[in-house]
């Protein structure tokens, strides 16, 4: 049996190696803007012409997220132009800052393990794509986690009243910027209100007021939560299956980085099994939401009928995993209900995942990435030192590398 200290050493080495590989892939990616990068970068020229004005906000094209992307990338473009790899390295720097911020949050309750827990972010598969390409998620994720750090540090560190007030002002400022990055971060208002219920500190409401003052004028100009040219994508109502997929994907992430989060008991396992049967039957009769990974490959060996069964079984398994993750999260929340910081971060993650119920035009694992920054500060106490940990971390990073390499084509 491998000693626990060796498992931790191997795991840390793997995680550091993951960061090095991600940076190397991004630096070597000499491709011009591709995939969604093209859409977001095209609005930098519009920003250069109009600045952060009403004309700019109304003329944004092919971009549902707000103007935070342009606010960050425009200064970089003045120095380095929109050239590879410089415009992509913005998100690499953002990821490093996110990791450092999670470390600062964890430092208060994880001690020496705080840095190792923060490094787990690189083992999350979807982090590779949002970090290695010039997409919109990382800037908003960075602003949101800095906001959360400022608020929780102000509430728990015993700082002087003036410093406390300044931290809440910063928290509101960064939260507002996060919402300007992606309007889904509006869901965090509910998490901050939970903090207010625990602490009854009016400065929390001040932070929310500042955040609202930053984002509401933009939404007023748009008449919606996104620019006029993109408002059609929000007209699809609620998509239950997309929400289920979001929680299922987070369940997969937790199996990789923190399987101890899941409650292992006969009642919980029976409940997940029964939910699998219930959802599979209900899905076949009514929802007909199917999911068939490796369908091209498996289709060579399985006939159409078996492929149909396979797609419904996979959908049921994902729904059961989503249920199991939510059940375990509820159990963890109840067990630590007297820890407001834990409740805040866990609920923030769940709220961000829940926004996928309303993103009706498509589902993307990138939406799940936005919740990762909030679940990681909740994991101290659920760290895993099992012998399988290095293999799981390699699996997570390998999936992330393959996903990013689909576009970067380094290999």
Q: H/E/C letters for each residue in 390-403?
A: HHHHHHHHHHHHHH
Between 130 and 315, where is the model more confident?
Answer: 130
Give me Rg for the CA atoms of the chain.
21
pLDDT at 233: 75
CA distances from 162 to 8, 95, 165, 166, 168 (A): 41, 30, 5, 6, 10
pLDDT, averaged across the chain: 91
Give tens-digit pLDDT for 201-247.
Answer: 999 999 999 999 999 999 999 999 999 988 877 666 788 889 999 99
Give tens-digit pLDDT for 73-109.
Answer: 999 999 888 888 899 999 999 999 999 999 999 987 7
Q: Which helix (H) or strand (E) holds 379?
A: none
Return d(Cα 400, Cα 253) in angstroms, integer. 11
Return d(Cα 147, Cα 140) in angstroms, integer. 11
CA distances from 401 to 22, 91, 94 (A): 8, 16, 18
DSSP assigned state of 262: S
Between 253 and 302, where is the model more confident?
Answer: 253
Give tens-digit pLDDT for 332-385.
Answer: 999 999 999 999 999 999 999 999 998 877 888 999 999 999 999 999 888 888
DSSP assigned state of 260: G
């Amino acid at each position: 049996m491998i000693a626990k200290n060796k498992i931790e050493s191997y795991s840390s080495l793997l995680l550091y190696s993951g960061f090095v590989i991600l940076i190397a892939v991004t630096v070597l990616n000499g491709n011009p803007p591709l995939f969604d990068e093209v859409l977001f970068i095209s609005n930098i020229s519009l920003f250069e012409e109009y600045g952060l004005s009403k004309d700019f906000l109304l003329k944004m094209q092919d971009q549902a997220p707000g103007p935070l992307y342009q606010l960050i990338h425009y200064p970089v473009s003045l120095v380095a132009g929109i050239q590879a790899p410089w415009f992509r390295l913005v998100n690499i720097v953002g990821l490093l800052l996110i990791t450092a911020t999670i470390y600062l949050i964890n430092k208060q309750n994880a001690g020496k393990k705080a840095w190792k827990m923060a490094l787990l972010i690189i083992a999350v598969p979807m982090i590779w794509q949002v970090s290695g390409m010039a997409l919109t998620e990382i800037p908003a994720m960075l602003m949101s986690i800095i906001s959360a750090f400022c608020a929780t540090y102000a509430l728990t560190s015993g700082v002087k009243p003036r410093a406390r007030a300044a931290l809440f002002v910063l928290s509101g400022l960064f939260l507002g910027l996060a919402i300007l990055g992606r309007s889904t971060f509006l869901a965090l208002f509910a998490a901050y209100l939970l903090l207010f219920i625990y602490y009854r500190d009016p400065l929390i409401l001040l932070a929310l007021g500042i955040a609202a003052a930053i984002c509401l004028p933009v939404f007023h100009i748009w008449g919606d939560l996104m620019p006029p040219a993109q408002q059609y994508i929000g007209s699809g109502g609620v998509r239950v299956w997309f929400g289920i997929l979001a929680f299922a994907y987070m369940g997969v992430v937790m199996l990789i980085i923190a399987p101890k989060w899941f409650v292992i008991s006969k009642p919980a396992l029976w409940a997940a099994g029964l939910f699998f049967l219930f959802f599979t039957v209900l899905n076949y009769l009514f929802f007909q939401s199917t999911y068939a990974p490796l369908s091209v490959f498996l289709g060579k060996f399985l006939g159409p009928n078996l492929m149909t069964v396979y797609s419904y079984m996979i959908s049921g398994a994902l729904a059961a995993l989503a249920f199991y993750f939510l059940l375990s999260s509820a159990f963890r929340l109840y067990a630590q209900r007297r820890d407001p910081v834990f409740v805040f971060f866990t609920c923030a993650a769940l709220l961000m995942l829940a926004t996928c119920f309303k993103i009706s035009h498509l589902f993307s694992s990138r939406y799940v990435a936005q919740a990762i920054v909030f679940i990681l500060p909740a994991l101290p106490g659920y760290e895993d030192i099992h012998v399988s940990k290095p293999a799981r971390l390699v699996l997570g990073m390998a999936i992330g590398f393959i996903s990013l390499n689909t576009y970067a084509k380094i290999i």
